Amino acid sequence: MNKEQAIESISNAIEAHKAQMVKIEKLIGGFPVESPTSVSKTKCEFGKWLYGEDTGVQRILGDQFYEKLDKQHEQWHMEYQRIFNVFFKDNKKSFLSKIIGSRKPDSLEIDKVKLYYSELTQTTNLLLQSLASSQRRIIAMNEAKFR
């Protein structure tokens, strides 16, 4: 991965996490969402980049920045999973409803999800700050670091 690709990848990660928050807002508002984000931190688009062996992200960012991103990203997915479970994880759903998408939670569940969303927003903001900091770090690096 060269410097330009690293900068672009982080920009894409920032936009992807913002888009995930919009998807969650839509769910809370009662709108269907296609292809929800994976609850696995290694299977979302950002996770594939962050943990991909061929990207060299850890080498480029250094252990301290990488570990901070990893912890924040893992926290994000743990908090997101609570929301995901309310809308998508229900063993009683029919095969057809699994294909169509999310189920309609009751008002108590929506109240819980709003609390979860509030916490997830804080975690998202921290993650976005770390990503922006990592991007600034990469911009300041010498091109030789990427060879």
To the nearest 10 degrees (0 to 180), the angle between helices 107-140 and 3-28 is: 170
Torsion angle defined by CA atoms of residues 82, 25, 102 and 37, in that order, rounded to the nearest 10 degrees: -60
| Confidence band, pLDDT 50/70/90 cuts, at residue 99 | very low
Q: What is the pLDDT of residues 107-117, one digit of tens each?
A: 889 999 999 99
Token look-up 């995901």 returns: 84
Q: What is the pLDDT of residues 65-95, one digit of tens each?
A: 899 999 999 999 999 999 999 988 764 454 4
Cβ atoms 10, 70 nearer than 8 A: no
Segments making up each domain of the chain, as ranges: 3-146
Q: What is the pLDDT of residues 28-60, one digit of tens each?
A: 888 888 888 889 999 888 888 888 877 788 888
pLDDT at 101: 54
Residue 140 has pLDDT above 80, yes or no: yes
Token look-up 């409803």 returns: 97
| Confidence band, pLDDT 50/70/90 cuts, at residue 96 | very low
Q: How far is the C-alpha of 110 from the C-alpha of 83, rounded, in Å? A: 9
Q: What is the pLDDT of residues 121-131, one digit of tens each?
A: 999 999 999 99
